Amino acid sequence: MKKILALLVIAPMLISCSGSKKDQFNEAYVKDTNGFDILMGQFAHNIENIWGMNEVLIAGPKDYVKYSDQYYTRSHINFDAGTITIETISGTDPAASLRQAIISTLLVGDDPGNVDLYSDANDIQISREPMLYGQVLDNTGQPIRWIGRANSFADYLVQNKLMRRQSGMHIIYSVTIQMVPNHLNKRAHKYLPMIREASAKYGVDQSLILAIMQTESAFNPYAVSNADALGLMQVVQHTAGVDVFKSEGKWGKPSRSYLFDPQNNINTGTAYLAMLQNVYLGNIDNPTSRRYAVITAYNGGAGSVLRVFSQNKAQAFNIINNMAPGDVYTTLTTKHPSAESRRYLYKVNNTQRSYRRLD
């Protein structure tokens, strides 16, 4: 499993500059995508074999999931709900397995390059400021930065908050930790300097960047998706990543490790928003109408946005420019062929309102 992931992470896209670059790129895209699908399928199958059919849990855009202890123990951070659940089916010493996983989770850093989500390696490197610092308070109401406090809190949880349930043939032991009520804002605040820098560089409202990040990942730096979108802004290497690299005079695509770096991810996602805003959808005159189109296009592509109005690109721009912004919004939230894209515009638009005070 780890070998497959390593190949996907470090293998360069060996494409000749001669011949049909588009065809070669498409072949590489299919190969990489198929490789990732195989990896995920094998990983899910392995988890099902160990935990049971109803207990398959893997990382997602808003869910950090890390296995350890030969896959018998796992940590799940739900960044949307603000809960951290540590579970084990270890039959030897479940309390010890939980304790170690609690400590590792509380102290994990925010650099995804240091953690392999698809192995059981206990490869957590203690950070000077853990990813969850300030988002979790221990039983004495204190934030957790160092191993001593993490040890004490793990002991408290195992002794006082241990739960057990039956699932198939397994007894699952667990503890659940509630994050602080404003955990989302604390994570957002951590990335504000990077967001402000990208906003100024690319001319994209920082409120829009924040709204996209919250909707895509809930500010989870480890965010992944079944479409292999990566990082805080869920950038896809083969589409937005390639477009941005091309606009910057670079050939190929950003690597997974590149996109898991928070600053690179925010820059790439914001650069793509700027391309949608100024290039692909730049012929939309009204800035509010254009913003609705850009938001929808970030999820489903600019072409799909224009085809809602007309199969002819020029005609689509003409129709949009003769509509009131409210009508453009209604059209995109009711007539776009993708239900996900329809909901996406609604969510991002509402979320952006709460961030406008920061612009």
Of 48, 87, 216, 248, catalytic: 216
Secondary structure of 67-79 as H, E, C letters: EECCCCEEEEEEC
Type of residue at 31: K
CA 109 and chain centroid, separation:
16
Half-sphere exposure at residue 104, Cβ-oriented, CA atoms within 13 angstroms: 26
Q: Is 216 a catalytic residue?
A: yes
Alpha-carbon distances of 354 from 12, 190, 221, rounded to whole Å = 41, 17, 21
Strand ranges in the chain using DSSP code E only, listed in sequence order: 63-68, 73-78, 83-88, 163-167, 170-178, 229-230, 235-236
Helix, coil or strand: residue 322: coil
218 phi and psi angles, rounded to 5 deg: 55, 35
Computed from CA positions of residues 93, 99, 100, 105, in that sequence, does the dihedral angle turn out positive or negative?
positive
108 phi and psi angles, rounded to 5 deg: -65, 140
- By annotation, the residues acting in catalysis are 216
